[in-house]
Amino acid sequence: MPPPSGAAGLFVSVEPATGAEVWRGRIGDIDGAVARAQRTWPNWAALPLANRIELLRRFANEARKDADALATLVARETGKPAWDAREEVDRVIAGVEHAIRAYAERSGQRRFDSALAGRTAVRHKPHGVLAVITPFNNPAHVPASHIVPALIAGNAVVLKPSEKAPGTAEALVRCLHRAGIPAAVAQVVQGGPEQGQALVGHDGIDGVLFTGSARVGIGINRRLAARPDRLAVLEMGGNNPIVVTDTPKITDAAALVIQSAFLSSGQRCTAARRLIVTERMYDPLIAEVKALADRLVVGAPFDETVPFMGPVTDNHAADGLTESFLYLLSHGGRAIKHLVRLNDSLPFLSPAIIDVTAMEQRPDVELFGPILQVVRVPDLDAAIAEANATRFGLTASLIGGSPQDYNRFWANVRAGIVNWNRPTTGPNDSTPLGGAGLSGNHHPGGAYLADSVAYPVASGEMDQPRAMIGVGLA
């Protein structure tokens, strides 16, 4: 959807929880931003790595100073509960040290010496100017998780955030500038899909770091298909399975399912969309999951009764999720807990659970919200087959089972993140974040983004020329 327009060139963001205006600003100048970045990035890349790292650590300190204000802004623009927003800001701050360690581990200089052959060295170079395009659901952490590694490596970045969370992106970039990072090296350009498409296709861009839906990511991939010289890092969503097999800990298993499916109102790329349950576990687990879901508090970010879930991003999303639930219901799904629109004018939805075992064709789509689809299967092998019945492959979790069961699950399930007795959500920033199929293009983020934001250069080196031709001379 295009950003809500006011006067020419202006748009606003609004609070999902209240409809009140949060931010108002102008649509950005893509050409101007890219030109400024092109002029400035060589000087940034020429700085010693230690200097760039020091400036990023100062950024962490600036974000720490502004943590309360940043968390408030995140909560207002996304609708997520205040505690959830604060956890996101804490990840931004902690992520700087994660990125520094990752760069040292994965992109450090290597040197091999030989008395006869001289030196062979491996060092890394930045690409240049990188476009960073990010979604609304984690408007501080996701941009920072791309920007910080890119800047450490010596790139300049132009951030085009979601039109639904422009204020958070602007506040984040202000922290970068206050830390001493040049304004032209880290820029934000506001706008909607049109500005994102213009940035991806701009001749001055050397690569794109994208997080968002598979539909948009596929479009970016097509746009860059004829440009193998351009970096494309695509982190997309998932139709993620959480599998529950034999375990005596029913209450704990249910809590893990709830966390996986309904944190941030199900608006996480790693959220569980499908609960796959073996026959023996079905009745006790579903009863416990439903009982827990019935107790979840849905409310505005700063409500006195602390909510577990806030609204979804807007009324358009709420309408789409309602239609999706009705589609599942009318095509063989059995409601365990109905999706309820809690406010006709605002996008508050209750958590919903629906058994889709009897559906002949289950839609392989990412329903980005609080709808959990349940599939009953006879055993773990059938559960793994069902987990793999998707074009996506971001994250998968096994709850219960033995170490041997987990080994079989890990070896056979198709996903970039595979957990055991842990939720599908909340990946560790010290590990790779990415998936297979429509979930990514094998350039994972997280700690492994260091592999993408700088490219390795191999060098054969000797202090003096020394060579001879030993064969083939007349």
Summarize pLDDT for 119-159 with one digit per residue, the tens.
899 999 999 999 999 999 999 999 999 999 999 999 999 99
Angle at 110 between CA 105 and CA 111, to 5 degrees: 160
pLDDT tens digits along 78-95? 999 999 999 999 999 999
Mean pLDDT of 185-194: 96
d(CA 143, CA 188): 10
Could you tell me if 24 and 6 are in contact, meaning their C-beta atoms sit under 8 angstroms apart?
yes
What pLDDT score does 5 carry?
Answer: 46
pLDDT of residue 6: 45
Positive or negative CA dihedral for 449, 261, 192, 172? negative
One of 163, 269, 288, 366 is an active-site residue; which one? 269
Quick: pLDDT tens for 196-250: 999 999 999 999 999 999 999 999 999 999 999 999 999 999 999 999 999 999 9
Q: Which of 235, 288, 366, 386 is catalytic?
A: 235
Residues 52, 1 contacting (CB under 8 angstroms): no
| Full-model pTM | 0.94
326/339 Cα distance (integer angstroms) = 9
Domains for the chain: give ranges and CATH numbers: 10-236+440-460 (3.40.605.10), 240-420 (3.40.309.10)
CA 440/CA 310 separation, integer angstroms: 28
Burial (CB count within 10 angstroms: exposed 0-12, middle 13-18, buried 19+), residue 229: exposed
Instruction: Give 436-445 pLDDT, tens digit per residue.
Output: 999 999 999 9
Catalytic annotation present for 175: no
What are the φ and ψ backbone dihedral angles of 305, each rounded to 5 degrees? -80, 110
